[in-house]
Structure 1
Amino acid sequence: MFLASLPAQVDITPNDSGLPGIAQLRTIVGAVMTIGLVLAVLALIISAIVWAVGANSSNPHLAGRGKTGVLIACAAAVICGGAVTFVNFFWGVGQSV
């Protein structure tokens, strides 16, 4: 009885004109992505310097911290640069479920 009253298919897609300010929000998100990429490059440069100083001063702890910083900066750049691609990929996966 109850199951017969449910709709057979729900078809909802993102609406980019439903709320005011969507264009400004896209601009803000793009600016934040740019800031994130610039900060990732800065972190990479600083971490590489720390790694070099640690390696040249025979300080394994400092060199290890520099290596960790380089890896984290590279991961942050990948995440910032690929955020749109990641979201679109998982959106497609969700749509195929």
Structure 2
Amino acid sequence: MNFADHVRYLAYDPGVTPKEGGLPGLSVLKDVISSINLFGIIAVVGALAVSAVVWAWGHHSGSHQAEANGKKGATVAAGCALLLGAANGIVTFFSALGSQVH
């Protein structure tokens, strides 16, 4: 028995797959989530701007702690922007990955 046969034997497939149009309000939910994503991206732009100012101020004033906090804030804001921008692609990738085991 190969790995795929073991997976079929051990795991029960209930046959549930995502389907559009099953419940009312799906388009409204998509709009709400898209708006939340947009607000998040706008907040990240603000956080990146503030972090860059703190970084620059810390560097020019000789405050190593402020400089380090600015760098940390800029790195976190960039990571958040990456995740917010790629959220749809990440979910699509992993949901498609789960459907490849047959």
Displacement after TM superposition at 1:12 (Å): 3.0
Task: Supply the distance in 2 between the matched residues of 1:68 and 1:29 (Cα, whole angstroms).
Answer: 28
Q: 1:9 to 1:38 in 2, by over 3 A?
A: closer
Aligned residues: 90
Can you give the 5+ residue segments of structure 1 that lack an aligned partner in the other structure? 1-7
- TM (norm. structure 2) is 0.83
- TM (norm. structure 1) is 0.87
Displacement after TM superposition at 1:10 (Å): 5.0
1:55 aligns to what?
59
Q: Deviations over 1:70-97 (max 9, x none)?
A: 0000000011110000000001111113
1:68 aligns to what?
72
Match of 2:18 among 14, 31, 55: 14
Q: Secondary structure at the match of 2:99?
A: helix
Task: Supply the distance in 1 between the matched residues of 2:92 and 2:68 (Cα, whole angstroms).
Answer: 35
CA-based RMSD = 1.4
